[in-house]
Structure 1
Amino acid sequence: MGISQVAHAELAVADLDEAIGFHTDVLGMRELGRADGAVRLSVGIDGGCDLVLTAGGTGVRRFALRVDDVADLDRYAKRLAEAGVATETRTDEHPGVVQALRFQAPSGHAMELAVLSTGPQYVHPAKAPHRGGIRALDFDHITVQAQDPKPLVDFLVELLDFQVSDIFAPAPGVIGAAWCRASTLHHDIAIISTPEAGKSLHHYALGMESFDHLKLAADELGRHGVPIEVGPGRHGVGGNVYTYFWAAGNRYELSAEMPRVRRNDPVVWDDFPKAFSPWGLQPPESFGHAS
């Protein structure tokens, strides 16, 4: 019962046709359909909607989290209403979405809780369709930007039953970033502080099978002239392996080896280089930019 994982996200792109080509040809996503100026895409094996692309600007317009059933939606709707958060119930969402509850987080992000009708019991790499491109396993997590991460962290924990796995605190009592989980995986949503108003997304992450899969993905990006921003490498926070790149005005992460976390107090980091990578690899200045 409750929130189990991320469901999908809607990203804005400047050139919709160019972005569709990249996501299908290079990332290996499958187009599910188009309606009202939005293009719905699926990645992996479950056949559900993982990404929605809309024209105009960059960044995340909304993102959704999966819940088990309508009873969960009712329970969270009541809890949000008691906290003074307005909600909207929708039944005309994307393919595979039975019902969704939409609301706004303190950071200004539009969020949804969604009951899905599709999906296998678990992701099995051998059952992934043999399409071209990078062929990620699934939508893995999302990292958003907020001028002050704390209100969003408190909102996730107090109203949506999230736990905090790690915190980056550049000074005592200051949250520079937080990695939050609804499942047992290290993070489903991460929040990074930004001094820039109007920036909503740090990266949209796709789950990969292994470090070797990251190597093959890097070759695929290279064949299409897409430069890697940083990686492959291993994070200090969480310990997952990563590769980052930009596409259609937004940053993407390819992530593998995401660990599972026991219930406990969060780990607090005050050293950014160690938090980013124990291997000594550090990101370029561009990594501080968002969309």
Structure 2
Amino acid sequence: MHSKAQRFEHVELKVQDLSKALHFYQNGLGLVEIARENGVVYLGCGYDKNYDLAVSEGGTGVTHFAVRVDNEDELEYFFKKISGVGVSVVRHNGTEPGQEKGIRFQLPSGIPMEFVLVADNSYVNPARPAYPRNVASAPLNIDHINLMAVDVKKETDFFREILDFKVSDIVDPEMNGNYMMTFMRFRGYHHDVATTITKNPQETLHHLSWTMSNIEHIKVACDVLTQFEVDVELGPGRHPIGPNLYAYYLEPGGNRFEYVAEQAYLDPDSPTKIWRSMQDTLESWSKLKRPPSSFIRGT
């Protein structure tokens, strides 16, 4: 159930215990199973036939993620542009449920990314979802991904110069190019992809976000978390960057998820905002300057 501006399409994650993770994803988060192929389970929010989250057992973190393009011409444009700078690009046509065509390549961090075209671009009716939605607190859609990178500036430059992303916000405390975080958009949604600094190159994911209607939707979803003995790690609150509502938690699969609402939409020519302090980006409603120690770690 994407808006035209939102372009984050799907992600495949590793989880520590597949059956435990699936129990939560289907009964707590409220996703529906769409397919199973070669040990990978594909799930979606259910409004359309496209999958949002794929999971397989064996650790944590990102196996690959995808951003949706408009047409084959745009897909071919990126195939040529990315391969033209010496990056290996592989076609993935029909290799995943609902994915008609795609190209896969690695970011400078080594994380695999895709540009894709999906089969279901139909008009979405919330009262008539493609699959029955049995959990009232279920998200409307997958929202964005926040990756981990040792060199955030190098990752950001690749998104901006090669992948044609716009940079909405940069956290650069010393104003010397040693970025701590960046937030990037493919169309008008404030960020489809963000990056956060890490010292550990094995960490690939800070968090995966899910679109919620409003603060009431987030509140009810947090109430459901308690039924599954899942603690809210940070929030609910409002980030100064975005400036979206949020609530973070470490889900039973071993990765961090976020519930998000009221994310900003930007014009194509909106300037990049530079932030001088990580602490100033955390919370608008209080003087909270330090998150829990767990929040610094990725998976």
Q: Give the TM interval when normalised to the shorter protein.
A: over 0.9
Which of 155, 158, 176 matches 1:155? Answer: 158
- Counterpart check, 1:169 vs 2:172: yes
1:18, CA displacement in angstroms?
Answer: 1.0
Identity among equivalent positions (%) equals 36
Q: Which string of whole-angstrom CA distances, capped at 9 and with x for unpartnered residues, describes residues 171-219 of structure 1?
A: 1222100000001111000000011121000001110011110000011
Tell me the equivalent position of 1:34: 36
Gaps of 5+ in 1: none
Tell me the equivalent position of 1:145: 148
Name the CA distance, whole Å, in 2 between partners of 1:143 and 1:273: 17
AA matched with 1:202: H
Conservation of the 8 A alpha-carbon contact between 2:142 and 2:210: yes
Task: Label 1:102 to 1:42 Cα distance change in 2 as closer, same or farther (>3 A).
Answer: same
Structure 1 moving runs of 4+ over 3 Å: 119-122, 124-130
Conservation of the 8 A alpha-carbon contact between 1:44 and 1:136: no
1:249, CA displacement in angstroms?
Answer: 0.7
Conservation of the 8 A alpha-carbon contact between 1:4 and 1:68: no
Question: Which secondary structure does the structure 1 equivalent of 2:95 belong to?
Answer: coil
- Counterpart check, 1:210 vs 2:226: no
1:34, CA displacement in angstroms?
Answer: 0.8
Tell me the equivalent position of 1:250: 255
- 1:214-233 correspondence runs (5 A): 214-233=218-237
1:168, CA displacement in angstroms?
Answer: 0.6
Which of 99, 102, 106 matches 1:100? Answer: 102
Conservation of the 8 A alpha-carbon contact between 1:3 and 1:66: no
Gaps of 5+ in 2: none
Question: Which secondary structure does the structure 2 equivalent of 1:91 belong to?
Answer: coil
Name the CA distance, whole Å, in 2 between partners of 1:83 and 1:74: 15
Tell me the equivalent position of 2:292: 284
- Counterpart check, 1:74 vs 2:82: no
AA matched with 2:137: I
User: RMSD of aligned C-alpha atoms?
Assistant: 1.7
Which of 261, 264, 270 matches 1:259? Answer: 264
- Counterpart check, 1:87 vs 2:83: no
TM-score (norm 1): 0.95
Tell me the equivalent position of 1:16: 18
Conservation of the 8 A alpha-carbon contact between 1:3 and 1:65: no
AA matched with 2:213: E
Conservation of the 8 A alpha-carbon contact between 1:4 and 1:67: no
Which of 184, 187, 191 matches 2:191? Answer: 187
Name the CA distance, whole Å, in 2 between partners of 1:141 and 1:156: 15
AA matched with 1:285: S
